[in-house]
Amino acid sequence: MHGLAVDAVIFGFHERQLKVLLLEYKSTGLFALPGGFVREKENLNDAVRRGLKERTGLDNIYLEQCYVFGDVNRHKPQVMKTILKANGHDTAENHWLLERFITVAYYALINYENVIPKPDALSDSCTWYDVDALPKLIFDHGDIVAKALQTLRANLDQKLVGMNLLPARFTMKALQQVYEAILGEQIRRTTFQRKILSLGIVKRHGKHFSGSANKAPYLYSFKK
């Protein structure tokens, strides 16, 4: 469908850092969010899920639509011409890929450990970057990341983000680290634990023994 695109901010969590998956286009030094186009006989959400599976290899990813980006100044045909030319494609001035696009933006939450990133046909790499140390992105993709992060923060408790960013069983400390990475601020341990337990969203299991028995933390899981 000409003029319509989808872009996804794929969040992961690793070593206490919130990560975003980015593509680097071949021989250009240009970075972008994973995205694509919608086929004429394809549902919008299905188009996003298809693109996510191609980049991550995963099905059943948590996905949330967060905004539609359609400002006139996001239209920069020279950027797309640079990408296509670097891949050996010479396009006419009236080619549909050089036209103005409106993009529907999503954010996805996935377990970092389960992903083997796969670049697309136009890219050299598909790699994780710290959310607070991203390279400069093409078009308005930086604004898309900011909007996705804003939406994620606003929905932090309601969407149970840890269910998607952590393994099935986790420590309270690991869950707190997820919250701190997303919010960009430190949280007092006792305050955080009291809040999470009061929400009634987690179930406590046995202790996780990795050292001294008296210091072993309990494991938790999210209730169904």
Contact (Cβ atoms closer than 8 angstroms) between residue 182 and residue 133: no
Write out pLDDT tens, residues 37-72.
Answer: 999 999 999 999 999 999 999 988 889 999 999 999
Assign 207 a pLDDT band (cuts: 50, 70, 90). Answer: confident
pLDDT digits (tens, 9 = 90+) for 80-97: 999 999 999 888 888 999
Contact 138, 33 (CB under 8 A): no
Q: How far is CA 177 from the centre of its chain?
A: 17
According to DSSP H, which parts of 57-171 are helical?
77-86, 141-154, 162-165
Tell me the domains of the chain and their CATH numbers.
Answer: 4-154 (3.90.79.10), 167-222 (no CATH)
Average pLDDT taken over every residue of the chain? 91
- How far apart, in whole angstroms, are the C-alpha atoms of residue 55 and residue 34? 7
* DSSP-derived pairing of the beta strands 102-109 and 4-14: parallel
